[in-house]
Amino acid sequence: MTSTGDSIGVETTQLSLDILDLVAERDGVRLRGVVEEFDVAKSTAHKHLTTLRDNGLLVKHGETYDVGLKSLNLGERARSQWPGYTHIEEAIATLTELTEEECDFVAPDRGRVITIAESYHKWAKYEGTNGSSSKEYRARTGSYYRMHATASGLAILSTYSRDRIETIIDRWGLPARTDYTITTRENLYEKLDQIRERGIAVDNQGYTEGMRSVGKAIHGPGDRVIGALSVSGPTYRIDGAVLEEEIPNALTDVASELEEHVGTAN
Protein backbone atom coordinates (compact mmCIF):
# COMPACT_ATOMS: atom_id res chain seq x y z
CA MET A 1 0.00 0.00 0.00
CA THR A 2 1.36 3.43 -0.95
CA SER A 3 1.88 5.79 1.95
CA THR A 4 0.60 9.33 2.00
CA GLY A 5 4.18 10.58 1.96
CA ASP A 6 5.00 8.55 -1.14
CA SER A 7 1.87 9.85 -2.87
CA ILE A 8 2.81 13.45 -2.14
CA GLY A 9 6.32 12.81 -3.42
CA VAL A 10 4.99 11.42 -6.69
CA GLU A 11 2.66 14.39 -7.14
CA THR A 12 5.53 16.77 -6.51
CA THR A 13 7.74 15.05 -9.07
CA GLN A 14 4.90 15.02 -11.60
CA LEU A 15 4.38 18.76 -11.19
CA SER A 16 8.06 19.42 -11.86
CA LEU A 17 7.90 17.30 -15.00
CA ASP A 18 4.70 19.04 -16.14
CA ILE A 19 6.38 22.41 -15.63
CA LEU A 20 9.34 21.28 -17.72
CA ASP A 21 6.98 20.22 -20.52
CA LEU A 22 5.18 23.57 -20.32
CA VAL A 23 8.43 25.49 -20.63
CA ALA A 24 9.37 23.48 -23.73
CA GLU A 25 5.94 23.83 -25.36
CA ARG A 26 5.80 27.60 -24.86
CA ASP A 27 9.45 28.32 -25.65
CA GLY A 28 9.88 29.74 -22.16
CA VAL A 29 7.56 30.81 -19.34
CA ARG A 30 7.51 33.24 -16.46
CA LEU A 31 6.60 32.47 -12.88
CA ARG A 32 3.08 33.83 -13.39
CA GLY A 33 2.54 31.48 -16.33
CA VAL A 34 3.26 28.45 -14.15
CA VAL A 35 1.00 29.73 -11.36
CA GLU A 36 -1.89 30.26 -13.78
CA GLU A 37 -1.42 27.04 -15.73
CA PHE A 38 -1.29 24.72 -12.71
CA ASP A 39 -3.27 26.79 -10.20
CA VAL A 40 -0.55 26.61 -7.56
CA ALA A 41 0.79 29.13 -5.07
CA LYS A 42 3.54 31.45 -6.28
CA SER A 43 5.90 30.02 -3.65
CA THR A 44 5.26 26.47 -4.89
CA ALA A 45 5.87 27.40 -8.52
CA HIS A 46 9.05 29.23 -7.56
CA LYS A 47 10.42 26.21 -5.64
CA HIS A 48 9.85 23.91 -8.61
CA LEU A 49 11.37 26.34 -11.11
CA THR A 50 14.39 26.95 -8.87
CA THR A 51 14.98 23.23 -8.34
CA LEU A 52 14.82 22.55 -12.07
CA ARG A 53 17.17 25.45 -12.73
CA ASP A 54 19.66 24.38 -10.06
CA ASN A 55 19.79 20.93 -11.67
CA GLY A 56 20.46 22.29 -15.15
CA LEU A 57 17.08 21.35 -16.63
CA LEU A 58 16.06 25.02 -16.84
CA VAL A 59 17.91 28.28 -17.30
CA LYS A 60 16.66 31.76 -16.44
CA HIS A 61 16.98 34.78 -18.68
CA GLY A 62 15.64 37.83 -16.89
CA GLU A 63 12.18 36.78 -15.73
CA THR A 64 11.80 33.96 -18.23
CA TYR A 65 12.67 30.30 -17.66
CA ASP A 66 13.74 28.19 -20.62
CA VAL A 67 15.01 24.65 -21.19
CA GLY A 68 18.57 24.06 -19.99
CA LEU A 69 21.41 22.22 -21.66
CA LYS A 70 21.11 19.29 -19.24
CA SER A 71 18.16 18.23 -21.38
CA LEU A 72 20.48 18.03 -24.41
CA ASN A 73 22.87 15.87 -22.43
CA LEU A 74 20.09 13.47 -21.45
CA GLY A 75 18.60 13.47 -24.95
CA GLU A 76 21.90 12.63 -26.61
CA ARG A 77 22.37 9.79 -24.15
CA ALA A 78 18.91 8.41 -24.93
CA ARG A 79 19.46 8.71 -28.67
CA SER A 80 22.85 7.00 -28.65
CA GLN A 81 21.37 4.08 -26.70
CA TRP A 82 18.49 3.52 -29.14
CA PRO A 83 18.72 0.08 -30.79
CA GLY A 84 21.11 0.22 -33.75
CA TYR A 85 21.49 4.00 -33.67
CA THR A 86 24.83 3.96 -35.54
CA HIS A 87 23.25 1.89 -38.30
CA ILE A 88 20.24 4.22 -38.35
CA GLU A 89 22.51 7.18 -39.14
CA GLU A 90 24.12 5.21 -41.96
CA ALA A 91 20.72 4.23 -43.34
CA ILE A 92 19.53 7.84 -43.35
CA ALA A 93 22.65 8.96 -45.23
CA THR A 94 22.20 6.20 -47.82
CA LEU A 95 18.50 6.95 -48.29
CA THR A 96 19.24 10.64 -48.74
CA GLU A 97 21.71 9.93 -51.54
CA LEU A 98 19.33 7.52 -53.24
CA THR A 99 16.29 9.80 -53.18
CA GLU A 100 17.86 13.27 -53.08
CA GLU A 101 15.14 14.33 -50.64
CA GLU A 102 14.75 14.92 -46.92
CA CYS A 103 14.95 11.68 -44.94
CA ASP A 104 14.50 10.97 -41.27
CA PHE A 105 14.06 8.26 -38.67
CA VAL A 106 11.49 8.57 -35.91
CA ALA A 107 11.02 6.48 -32.79
CA PRO A 108 7.71 5.84 -31.01
CA ASP A 109 7.37 7.50 -27.63
CA ARG A 110 4.18 7.24 -25.55
CA GLY A 111 1.76 7.53 -28.44
CA ARG A 112 3.70 10.02 -30.53
CA VAL A 113 6.84 9.81 -32.65
CA ILE A 114 10.05 11.76 -32.11
CA THR A 115 12.76 12.45 -34.70
CA ILE A 116 16.09 10.97 -33.64
CA ALA A 117 17.98 11.26 -36.95
CA GLU A 118 17.54 13.36 -40.08
CA SER A 119 19.39 14.28 -43.26
CA TYR A 120 18.88 16.72 -46.13
CA HIS A 121 20.21 16.31 -49.61
CA LYS A 122 22.21 19.32 -50.77
CA TRP A 123 19.86 19.83 -53.73
CA ALA A 124 16.60 19.39 -51.80
CA LYS A 125 14.66 22.63 -51.61
CA TYR A 126 11.04 23.26 -50.67
CA GLU A 127 8.65 26.17 -50.65
CA GLY A 128 5.27 25.61 -49.00
CA THR A 129 2.17 26.25 -51.06
CA ASN A 130 0.59 28.28 -48.27
CA GLY A 131 3.50 30.66 -47.88
CA SER A 132 5.04 28.75 -44.97
CA SER A 133 8.78 28.41 -44.85
CA SER A 134 10.87 25.27 -44.86
CA LYS A 135 11.22 25.75 -41.09
CA GLU A 136 7.76 24.21 -40.64
CA TYR A 137 8.38 21.58 -43.28
CA ARG A 138 11.72 20.19 -42.26
CA ALA A 139 12.09 17.57 -39.56
CA ARG A 140 14.08 18.60 -36.51
CA THR A 141 15.89 16.19 -34.23
CA GLY A 142 13.97 15.98 -30.97
CA SER A 143 10.67 17.18 -32.46
CA TYR A 144 7.47 15.31 -31.62
CA TYR A 145 4.73 14.54 -34.15
CA ARG A 146 1.24 13.06 -33.89
CA MET A 147 1.30 9.64 -35.48
CA HIS A 148 -1.81 10.04 -37.64
CA ALA A 149 -0.40 13.06 -39.50
CA THR A 150 2.90 11.66 -40.80
CA ALA A 151 3.87 8.75 -43.04
CA SER A 152 6.33 7.38 -40.50
CA GLY A 153 3.77 7.60 -37.73
CA LEU A 154 1.15 5.86 -39.85
CA ALA A 155 3.66 3.16 -40.74
CA ILE A 156 4.25 2.45 -37.05
CA LEU A 157 0.54 2.58 -36.22
CA SER A 158 -0.13 -0.04 -38.90
CA THR A 159 1.89 -2.55 -36.84
CA TYR A 160 -0.14 -2.00 -33.66
CA SER A 161 -3.22 -3.78 -32.40
CA ARG A 162 -6.59 -2.02 -32.56
CA ASP A 163 -6.67 -1.71 -28.76
CA ARG A 164 -3.29 0.00 -28.73
CA ILE A 165 -4.34 2.36 -31.51
CA GLU A 166 -7.53 3.24 -29.64
CA THR A 167 -5.49 4.04 -26.53
CA ILE A 168 -3.31 6.41 -28.57
CA ILE A 169 -6.32 8.10 -30.15
CA ASP A 170 -7.98 8.52 -26.75
CA ARG A 171 -4.87 10.26 -25.43
CA TRP A 172 -3.78 12.39 -28.38
CA GLY A 173 -6.89 12.61 -30.56
CA LEU A 174 -6.88 13.07 -34.34
CA PRO A 175 -6.46 16.85 -34.70
CA ALA A 176 -6.25 18.38 -38.17
CA ARG A 177 -3.06 20.11 -39.25
CA THR A 178 -4.23 20.67 -42.82
CA ASP A 179 -7.36 20.03 -44.86
CA TYR A 180 -5.80 16.67 -45.81
CA THR A 181 -5.14 15.31 -42.31
CA ILE A 182 -6.94 12.12 -41.27
CA THR A 183 -9.38 13.14 -38.55
CA THR A 184 -11.78 10.19 -38.14
CA ARG A 185 -11.28 6.67 -36.84
CA GLU A 186 -12.98 5.22 -39.91
CA ASN A 187 -10.57 6.92 -42.30
CA LEU A 188 -7.59 6.07 -40.13
CA TYR A 189 -8.36 2.35 -40.01
CA GLU A 190 -9.01 2.28 -43.75
CA LYS A 191 -5.62 3.92 -44.30
CA LEU A 192 -3.86 1.48 -41.95
CA ASP A 193 -5.35 -1.49 -43.81
CA GLN A 194 -3.88 -0.13 -47.05
CA ILE A 195 -0.47 0.31 -45.40
CA ARG A 196 -0.47 -3.23 -44.04
CA GLU A 197 -1.26 -4.59 -47.50
CA ARG A 198 1.48 -2.62 -49.23
CA GLY A 199 4.06 -2.37 -46.45
CA ILE A 200 4.57 1.32 -47.27
CA ALA A 201 2.82 4.37 -45.82
CA VAL A 202 2.11 7.52 -47.82
CA ASP A 203 1.01 10.77 -46.21
CA ASN A 204 -0.41 13.19 -48.76
CA GLN A 205 -0.12 16.68 -47.26
CA GLY A 206 -1.49 15.59 -43.89
CA TYR A 207 1.24 17.40 -41.98
CA THR A 208 2.11 20.28 -44.31
CA GLU A 209 0.26 21.41 -47.41
CA GLY A 210 2.27 20.83 -50.54
CA MET A 211 4.34 18.02 -49.00
CA ARG A 212 4.19 14.24 -49.37
CA SER A 213 5.97 11.69 -47.21
CA VAL A 214 6.61 7.99 -47.70
CA GLY A 215 7.42 5.86 -44.67
CA LYS A 216 8.22 2.31 -43.62
CA ALA A 217 8.28 0.74 -40.15
CA ILE A 218 11.56 -0.76 -38.91
CA HIS A 219 11.67 -3.90 -36.77
CA GLY A 220 14.43 -4.58 -34.28
CA PRO A 221 15.35 -7.46 -31.99
CA GLY A 222 12.41 -9.71 -31.15
CA ASP A 223 10.48 -8.20 -34.09
CA ARG A 224 9.76 -5.13 -31.95
CA VAL A 225 9.04 -1.98 -33.96
CA ILE A 226 11.80 0.49 -33.08
CA GLY A 227 10.75 3.27 -35.42
CA ALA A 228 10.28 4.20 -39.06
CA LEU A 229 12.24 5.62 -41.97
CA SER A 230 10.62 8.25 -44.16
CA VAL A 231 11.31 10.34 -47.24
CA SER A 232 9.62 13.74 -47.60
CA GLY A 233 9.42 16.38 -50.28
CA PRO A 234 7.14 18.66 -52.27
CA THR A 235 4.19 17.12 -54.12
CA TYR A 236 5.49 18.29 -57.49
CA ARG A 237 8.63 16.16 -57.02
CA ILE A 238 7.19 13.20 -55.13
CA ASP A 239 4.63 12.13 -57.69
CA GLY A 240 4.12 9.58 -60.44
CA ALA A 241 6.85 6.94 -60.72
CA VAL A 242 8.88 8.64 -57.99
CA LEU A 243 6.01 8.18 -55.54
CA GLU A 244 4.84 4.78 -56.73
CA GLU A 245 8.15 3.05 -57.43
CA GLU A 246 11.44 4.89 -56.90
CA ILE A 247 11.04 5.99 -53.29
CA PRO A 248 9.20 2.84 -52.10
CA ASN A 249 11.91 0.67 -53.68
CA ALA A 250 14.69 2.70 -52.08
CA LEU A 251 12.92 2.61 -48.72
CA THR A 252 12.39 -1.14 -48.91
CA ASP A 253 16.06 -1.83 -49.77
CA VAL A 254 17.46 0.47 -47.08
CA ALA A 255 14.95 -0.73 -44.47
CA SER A 256 15.81 -4.37 -45.16
CA GLU A 257 19.52 -3.71 -44.72
CA LEU A 258 18.93 -1.66 -41.59
CA GLU A 259 16.80 -4.38 -40.01
CA GLU A 260 19.51 -6.91 -40.74
CA HIS A 261 22.12 -4.76 -39.00
CA VAL A 262 19.87 -3.82 -36.06
CA GLY A 263 18.92 -7.44 -35.52
CA THR A 264 22.57 -8.33 -34.96
CA ALA A 265 23.63 -5.16 -33.14
CA ASN A 266 24.47 -5.33 -29.45
pLDDT for 128 equals: 47
Confidence of residue 120 (pLDDT cuts 50, 70, 90): confident
pLDDT for 10 equals: 86
Confidence of residue 200 (pLDDT cuts 50, 70, 90): very high
SS3 content of the chain, % helix, strand, coil (to 5): 50, 20, 30
Read off the pTM: 0.85
pLDDT value at 132 more than 60: no
Other C-beta atoms lying within 10 Å of the C-beta of residue 80? 10
Q: Residues 179-187: what's their mean pLDDT?
A: 98
HSE of 186, CA atoms in CB hemisphere, 13 A: 0
Share of the chain above pLDDT 90, in %: 83
The end-to-end CA distance of the chain, in Å, is 39
pLDDT for 48 equals: 97
> What average pLDDT does the structure give for the chain?
90
